[in-house]
Amino acid sequence: MIIRTENLHKRYGRHGALKGLDLAVPEGAAYALIGANGAGKTTTIKTLMNIIAPSQGMARILDVDSRALSPAELARIGYVSENQEMPAWMTVGAYLAYLRPFYPDWDTALEAALLRRLHLPLERRIGHLSHGMRMKMALLCALAFRPRLLILDEPFSGLDPLVRDELVESLLAQAGEMTILVSSHELSEIEGFATDVGFIDDGRMLFQEPLEALQARLRAVRVVLDRDAVLPAGAPQTWLDLKAAGSVLSFVDTHYADAGLKARIAALVPGVQRIEVEPVALRSIFTALARATRDGRTA
């Protein structure tokens, strides 16, 4: 695992931001860390980057304790955060010239290609860039040295659709060359390149698995009845977001299996006319799991 945490805790006084977090990011993955605001995503990333120290537990990145990251390891890690700080008084070109000597693997041809793709003006001061342009600048700086690991903390927050598309296109162009850990609420963009997903809530990892496996076990189920639908008593805990509207009963099945599905539904709901089953998009998965977590249920 290129990133691994075990029983990771971070406390601020009496408040626990991380509560025994176990995270495992495979080499070569594009791992999406998802969860509501305040769930602990940014705290996790800042701990991995040694911006803050853990209160307890273990965090390893590139097989090194996060508290012992050296310049050699940091030169192989690209990091972009929502609130990236860069010297406002420097121009784009001057800042790139300043950074190049710190990274032995800096690729000037890739830098030039990213400048063209992201439409960044070399002569403009960083302080005069819009938020979207600053995020593009931060991504260029993180990609130009071809990092082994790229960590992105809410990189799409507050960006207009065009800028988001440009950032995602730049990531996709290099996604196969590095491992990516990304936290974001822009789940439709993440779904385009994520291979693995972890769901964090209240400082704990509820589950993590390959996105393909997650999407295989979740299905949106729509049951059309010959009468008005009523929420069934004793519905399985694995049926999330259960709703009744007119003659339709709908839910998300988190342990979907086609075999015997009709019989299981008919045993709880009389008058079944037909059953419709569809895949679930990542945004809908997140919404269903977030509601279940809020209601004290698990997937």
CB 91 within 8 A of CB 141: no
At 164 the pLDDT is: 78
* Number of Cβ atoms within 10 Å of the Cβ of 291: 13
**What is the fold, at CATH topology level, of the domain defined by 3-210?**
Rossmann fold (3.40.50)
Domain boundaries, the chain: 3-210, 219-279
| Residue 150 pLDDT | 95
Bridge-based pairing of strands 77-81 and 149-153 is: parallel
Residues 6+ apart with CB under 8 A from 94: none
Q: What SS3 state is found at 120?
A: coil
Entry pTM = 0.86
- Residue 110: CB atoms within 10 Å: 17
Mean pLDDT calculated for residue range 58-66: 95
Provide the terminal-to-terminal Cα distance of the chain, rounded to the nearest Å.
25
Residue 298 pLDDT > 70: no
Q: Answer yes or no: is pLDDT of 256 > 70.
A: yes
pLDDT, tens digit, 9 for 90 and up, residues 237-255: 888 888 888 899 999 998 8
User: What is residue 35's predicted lDDT score, i.e. its pLDDT?
Assistant: 85
In percent, the amount of the chain with pLDDT more than 70 equals 97
Q: Which residues contact 176 (CB under 8 A, 6 or more apart)?
A: 28
pLDDT at 168: 79
pLDDT confidence of residue 39: 85
Give pLDDT, residue 291: 74
pLDDT at 48 over 90: yes
* Contact predicate 266/205, CB 8 Å: no
- Token pair belonging to 102: 């710190």
Q: Averaged over 178-190, what is the pLDDT?
A: 83
